[in-house]
Amino acid sequence: MTETILPQAVTRRHFLQGAAAVAIAHSALGAAQAPVRRSKMNKTLAYVGTYTGAVGSGRNGEGIYRFEVNPATGELSRRVLAAKTPNPSWIAIHPSRKHLYAVNEVSDFQGGSGSVSAFAIDLASGDLTALNTVSSEGASPAYLSIDASGSYAFVANYDGGSIAVLPILAGGLLGSAVDIHRDRSSVGSAQAANASPGSFAISGHDAPHAHMIAPDPRNRFVLATDLGQDRIYIYRFDPATGKLSPSDGAPFVSLPSGDGPRHFAFHPNGHWLYAIQEESSTIAFLLYDPATGSLAAQQTISALPSGFAGSSYAAEILVSPNGRFLYAANRLHDTIAVFSIDASGRLKHIGETATLGDYPGQCRIDPGGNFLYACNRRSDNITSFRIHRDTGLLTFTGQYTPVGSPASITFLE
């Protein structure tokens, strides 16, 4: 079960390869909810969040980097350190395109919490200007998303086992959390039920670990994964107050014990949801009812090739813009697996491509739907792949983009 709580200090997130260390009251929402006015930018930019800290410790970045994107070749060029901020491991851009928000995956902000930082975007240059930083209300925030109206930011705190709703105020500033939920129930088994033979992919079942939170396509419900509890929680979202309440139907769905749900992705039709499990390296296909927020499991398939034995940690999941293909990133195996999606939503493995880098965490498709970018954290680079729209398969562009400990990438056009 979950309970709404007041902010409090929590413990620090432990990564597989080592720890990555590092008030504004809610005002009227009129400014945040004003109609979005989009001015045209004559280029596409990419922002990359990194892990920061001591060089050589797996935290070789310095903050958020900005690149220009060549839409014909996928090349990332003109690298600029756009903002120095600690461990901006997940970043998101406001619907207005005027503001960027980043989690700071630390546990030492205001005596035991992580934080979230707000930046203004200069649409002429792409430069970032720091606005403010507020508590994420839990240690080591790992994910951030923004509701469709641009009025609230949702954050998942991995070590804190909590989720929080932060209001977005006039001028893009962040306010203090208007709602906080912390998972309290028991955790799953240490060994994933569906792990590959010989797998030692064991990391997150010592405690609840909130890993992702995002609104559904209609902005009526908010879904959140808890890796330690092997659950996807479903909350009804009140856009007037930002409050989250457990769904009237089932407040969560359970995945097999120990599998560790990490991220999920909606199909463009809004009725199919795909969740990737970190420790079992599996993908679950679930039917989603947008009227009630309910989920019903339909299929489970491995993100690894048939016959694979040993350890790998699944990381990211993406659905192609045309809804025909699904991509899954595998760390240690260091591949992007490719699946076709049939007329019923079921998946079929059709191939895989090596990321040509070490430990791909997040990956992202560019706004044109032509390229997939993989953030290879341990090899300090981003690799890019051309997407063949007819087959869904990937071809390496030949481009390695150097950046220290890349964690996430997002685009602005």
Q: Given this model, what pLDDT does residue 172 score?
A: 98
Q: How far is CA 405 from CA 54, 108, 169, 204, 263, in A?
A: 11, 21, 31, 21, 20
Would the pLDDT of 39 be above 80?
no
Give Cβ neighbours of residue 108 (< 8 Å, ≥ 6 apart). Answer: 21, 22
pTM of the model: 0.90
- The one-letter amino acid code at 78 reads R
HEC assignment per residue over 72-100:
CCCCEEEEEEEEECCCCCCEEECCCCCEE
Q: Which amino acid would we find at residue 65?
A: Y
DSSP 8-state code for residue 195: P
How is the chain split into domains, by residue range?
93-182
Q: Which residue has the higher pLDDT, 249 or 140?
A: 140
For 171, phi and psi rounded to 5 degrees?
80, 5
H-run or E-run covering 331: strand 325-331
% pLDDT > 70, the chain: 90
Condensed to tens digits (0 to 9), the pLDDT of residues 70-89 reads: 999 999 999 999 999 999 99
Assess whether pLDDT exceeds 50 at residue 19: no
Of all residues in the chain, the percent with pLDDT exceeding 90 is: 85
pLDDT at 7 exceeding the cut of 50:
no
pLDDT per position as a tens digit, 257-305: 999 999 999 999 999 999 999 999 999 999 999 999 999 999 999 999 9
Q: What average pLDDT does this structure show over 345-361?
A: 98
Question: What's the token pair of residue 181?
Answer: 């939920």
Using pLDDT thresholds of 50, 70 and 90, give the confidence band for residue 10: very low
Instruction: Report the mean per-residue pLDDT for the chain.
Output: 91
pLDDT in tens, 188-229: 999 998 999 999 998 889 999 999 999 999 999 999 999 999
| Max Cα distance, the chain (Å) | 56
**85 bridge partner residues:** none
Lookup result for tokens 């359970």:
254
Q: Could you tell me whether strands 295-302 and 282-288 are parallel, antiparallel, or unpaired per DSSP bridges? A: antiparallel
pLDDT at 215: 98
Residue type, 209: H
> Token match 């923004």: residue?
146
**pLDDT reading at 314 higher than 80:** yes
- 9 vs 51 pLDDT, higher one: 51
The predicted model gives 34-52 an average pLDDT of: 76
Are 266 and 312 a contacting pair, CB within 8 Å? no
Query: Rounded mean pLDDT of 79-101?
Result: 98
Q: What is the DSSP string of 131-172?
A: EEEEE-SSSSEEEEEE-TTSSEEEEEETTTTEEEEEEB-GGG
Report the pLDDT averaged over residues 119-142.
97
Q: What is the DSSP letter of 187?
A: -
pLDDT score for 14: 38
pLDDT at 13: 37
Q: Which has more pLDDT, 185 or 104? A: 104
Q: Which residues of 94-133 are buried (b: 16+ CB within 10 A; e: fewer)?
A: bebbbbbbbbbbbbebeebbbbbbbbbbebeebebeebbb
Q: Is the pLDDT of residue 318 over 60?
A: yes
> Sorting pLDDT into bands at 50, 70 and 90, what band is 41?
low
